[in-house]
Structure 1
C-alpha cells in the first residue's frame, strides 16, 4: 500500500510561550506541592509563659466535660397549684413583682348542687353561713406520672398571711378536708391535670370581714412537700385571698379590716392591676358572666402612677403613734425630678417608703394625710379623698377610678414588714 494513502495526524500550529500559558493556565500551588509557609513575625525576646493561662483552659475543659443534671420535671413528677394566671409554671418566689395570692385553681360550687364539677356554676365569693363544695385543680408538669397525689385545703382568717406572721394566732390554719388521687399522667397526656373535690363540704363561719383566705396543697411520694403553707416559697401551695364585690357592696368594712391588720412599722401599698382583672375573673366567674367584661388600661386610672401594667395608688403606715397615708401621684409631684426614675423606684420593694423619707416629715402632709387616728379609720378616709368620693360603694369606687363605664377594677393590697420583707397580699375586684 502506498504510504500516501495512510491517514496523517492533524497539524497544530506551534504556540508561543505566551499563548501556551494562556491556554494551559497558571497554577501557583500544584497538587503535591508543599504549602507556602506564612510569614510569622520574629518572636518577642521578652515573652514569658503565663501560668494562669493553663488553669483557665483546664477549668474550661472541666466545665464542658462535667455531667449536667437534667431538670427535675424531666425526670420526676412536678406538681403545681397555680399562684396566679396566666403563665405560672412553678417558679418561686413570684413576688415581687408578680402576685402569688390569686390562685385560679381553688374553686367553689354551692353544696346544694349534687352534680359533677361545672364551671357554669362557679361561686365567686363565699358567703357567711352557706356551705360549699371545694375543688382544687392540680397539675403535673413532669415527664413521670404522679402516683398517690394527696390534696388538702385549709382556711385562714382574712388578711395578710406570710412568713412573718404565720405563727400569729389570728392566722391559725383551719383544716377543711382532703382527697387522694390515684394518678396524674405525665405532662404529655390530657390526664396530667385534674379537678379534685374535697371529701367534705365547707360551711363558712362568720368572718371578721370579707371572705376567708383559702390555702391548698398537693403532694405525692415522688414529689413530696411537708413545709410551711407559704405560697410565695413553694409550687405545691396555692392561695386564694381575694374578694369579688357586687356593685352595691360597701368597701368601708373591708378597708377598715385591712387597715387594722397592719402592724406598727409595716407598710401597706395599694396598686391597681389594670387589665390583669380579666384572667382573674375568667378563673372565678361562670363563662357567661365573663363575656363582654371590660378593664381599664393603667394609663386611664385616676390618681395612680403608671408602673407598666400596674398603677401605684397610695402607701400607708403607722409609726411613732402617727398614721401616714401618701398618694403616689402627689408624692412624685412634690419630689420633682425625672418621673420615670421616681416611678421605677416606687416599683421596687420598699421604694415607696424610701421616697416618703426622701420627701421628709415636714412635707409629707403635702402629698397625703397625717393623723393620730388609727390606720383602720384613716384608710377609708384616704380612699374618699384619693378618688373624691362621698361613699365607698363598689360601684362608686369603680367610677372614681376611671376607665370605661361599667369596667371591672382590680385593687391589690400588699403588706411588707418593717424590714421591707414581703408578708402577704389581698385582692379586690369590683365594678
Structure 2
C-alpha cells in the first residue's frame, strides 16, 4: 500500500479518520460513529454497539451465574495496518460518572493485527460471571490500543475512540424487583454542582426488529432508537419512537453523599478536555437529583423501576450526569413488556 498523495482531499476536522498513512482504531459509541472525538454534549456514548456478551437473549440480557464471554469489535478506518491490537475489559456497578477506580478488571484479549479498512473481534480470554446485584444492571468498559495507535484518555469513550462502554442487564434466576443504586461521581479537583437528568422514549412495534437484517442487533437498535441513522429503517419496519414524560414509571430517592469515599478522577489533561465540553443550557430532559459534590466526591441515589412495562411498548430511559454544565456520564435503562 502506498501513502496518499499530497493532493489527497482533506476531510474537515472532526469528521472521521485523517487521510494520512496511519491506523485509526475505532470502538463505536453509536451506529454512525467514525471516531471523531470529543463527542458533543448529550451524545449517547455509553451504549457501544461494538461490545458483545454471549450467551445472551435477543435483547442482550445475560443470566446471573452464567459463564459469559465478553468481546469487542474494533475497526481500523485508517490507511495503515494496526499491528498487535489488544483489548482490556472491565465491569462496574452502574455509575453515571464512571472512573477507573470504580471498576473491576476482567481480563485482556490476545494481540491481533487489524488491516487497514477492516475490523476484528477481540475476545476476552478470561470469562466473566455476572451476579445479580444492584437491580441487575452493570457497566462494561473496553479499551483497545496498539503501539502504533495508542489510547489517550482512559475510560472516556466521549473523548477517545479507543474506549467503549456498554450497559448490560443481568437477569436474576427468579424474578426480583428492580432496585438500583446509581453512583454520582465528581471527577474534578474542585467542588461541582452535580445534577442527574432523565429523558424517556416509548417504542412500539419493537418486536419486529429481530430477523430483519438491520445493521445493529435488536438490543442495540433499542438503545439507539433516537439516532438519526436509524430513523429510515425503523420507519420502514413500522417501529414508532415517541417522547414520553421523562422518568415515566421510575421513582428516585434522595441523594446521599459518602463523606469518606473518593472516585479518584482523571489526569489533568483529560479533565481539561472535559471542561471544554461545557454546554450551558443544553436540554438533558428533567432533573431528578441535585447535589453539591466535593472534589472527587461520590454520592448515591436509589432508583426503583417496575420489572417491565404493560401495554406492549418498550421504554428507553436515558440518565445523564452533569457537573457544572459538563456532561460527564450516562446510563440507559431499557424496560420491556412483561
- The bucket for the TM-score relative to the shorter chain is 0.5 to 0.7
Number of the residue aligned with 1:218:
144
1:207 & 1:176 partners in 2: Cα distance?
17
Query: What whole-Å deviation, never above 9, does each CA across 1:197-229 have from its counterpart, x for those lacking one?
Result: 111211224533323210011111111115421
Give the RMSD, CA atoms, in angstroms: 4.4
Relative to structure 1, the CA distance from residue 251 to residue 96 in structure 2 (aligned partners, 3 Å threshold; closer, same or farther) is farther
For structure 2, which runs of at least 5 residues remain unmatched after alignment?
1-7, 12-16, 187-191, 210-214, 222-233, 258-278, 291-299
The number of residue pairs the alignment matches comes to 266
User: Which residue is 1:298 aligned to?
Assistant: 242
Aligned residue in 1 for 2:95: 159
Distance 1:273 1:249, change over 3 A: farther
1:409–1:208: structure 2 CA closer, same or farther, 3 Å change rule? closer
| Separation in structure 2 between the aligned mates of residue 313 and residue 420 of structure 1, nearest angstrom | 27
CA distance 1:314–1:202, change in 2 (3 Å): closer
Contact 1:219–1:225 under 8 Å retained in 2:
yes
The answer for the alignment partner of 1:348 in structure 2 is 282
Give the whole-Å Cα distance in 1 for the aligned partners of 2:308 and 2:42.
Answer: 26
Contact 1:295–1:407 at 8 Å: present in 2 too? no
In structure 1, the residue matched to 2:21 is: 75
The structure number with the bigger radius of gyration is 1
Q: How far apart, in 2, do the equivalents of 1:416 and 1:394 lie?
A: 27
SS at match of 1:222: coil
Alpha carbons 1:269, 1:414 under 8 Å: kept:
yes
- Identify if the C-alpha distance between structure 1 residues 143 and 91 changes in structure 2 by more than 3 Å, giving closer, same or farther: same
User: Secondary structure, in 3 states, of the residue corresponding to 1:74?
Assistant: coil
Contact 1:158 1:207 in 2 (8 A): no
Asked whether the 8 Å contact 2:197–2:284 carries over to 1, the reply is no
Q: Check the 8 A contact 1:269/1:316 in 2, yes or no.
A: no
Specify whether residues 130 and 233 from structure 1 end up closer, same or farther in structure 2 by C-alpha distance, changes over 3 A only: same
Q: Which of 48, 51, 54 matches 1:103?
A: 48
Give, in whole Å, the separation in 1 of the partners of 2:175 and 2:198: 19
Q: Residue by residue, what CA displacement relative to the aligned partner does 1:397-423 show, whole Å, maximum 9, x if unpaired?
A: xx4xxxxxx232211111112x12223
More strand by share: 2
Summarize the Cα distance change of 1:126–1:319 in structure 2 as closer, same or farther, 3 Å threshold: closer
Q: Distance in 2 between matches of 1:202 and 1:181?
A: 19
**Structure 1 residue 347: Cα displacement:** 7.2
Residue 411 in structure 1 maps to residue 317 in structure 2: yes
Residues 328-387 of structure 1 show CA distances to partners (whole Å, capped at 9, x for unaligned) of: xxxxxxxxxxxxxxxxx997157866xx9xxxxxxxxxxxxxxxxx953xx54xx8xxxx
Greater share of helix residues, 1 or 2?
1
Shift of 1:265: 4.7
In the alignment, structure 1 residue 139 sits paired with structure 2 residue 67: no
> Residues 314, 200 of structure 1: CA spacing in aligned structure 2 closer, same or farther, 3 A cutoff?
closer
Unaligned runs of 5+ in 1: 1-66, 111-119, 286-290, 305-310, 322-344, 357-373, 384-391, 400-405
Deviation at 1:89, TM superposition (A): 0.8
Greater RCO, 1 or 2 (C-alpha within 8 Å, sep 6+) = 2
Superposed displacement of residue 125, structure 1 = 2.1
In the alignment, the residues of structure 2 paired with residue 218 and residue 76 of structure 1 have an alpha-carbon distance, to the nearest angstrom, of 16
Over residues 18-52 of structure 1, what are the superposed CA-to-partner deviations in whole Å (9 max), with x where a residue is unaligned?
xxxxxxxxxxxxxxxxxxxxxxxxxxxxxxxxxxx
Residue 395 of structure 1, aligned match among 300, 304, 309: 309
CA gap 1:411/1:136 in 2 versus in 1, 3 angstroms: same
Taking the aligned partners of 2:254 and 2:19, their CA distance within structure 1 comes to 45
Distance 1:317 1:91 in 2: 37
1:293 offset after TM fit, Å? 8.2
Asked whether the equivalents of residues 147 and 183 of structure 1 are also in contact (C-alpha less than 8 Å), the reply is: yes
Q: Is the 8 A contact 1:107 1:122 kept in 2?
A: no
1:127 positional shift:
3.1
Q: Indicate conservation of the 8 Å contact 1:135/1:196, yes or no.
A: yes
- Structure 2 match to 1:235: 161
Question: What does 1:206-355 correspond to in 2, within 5 Å?
Answer: 206-225=132-151, 227-243=153-169, 252-254=178-180, 257-258=181-182, 261=184, 265-273=193-201, 282=218, 295-298=239-242, 301=244, 303=245, 348=282
On the 8 A contact 2:309/2:315 being kept in 1, the answer is no
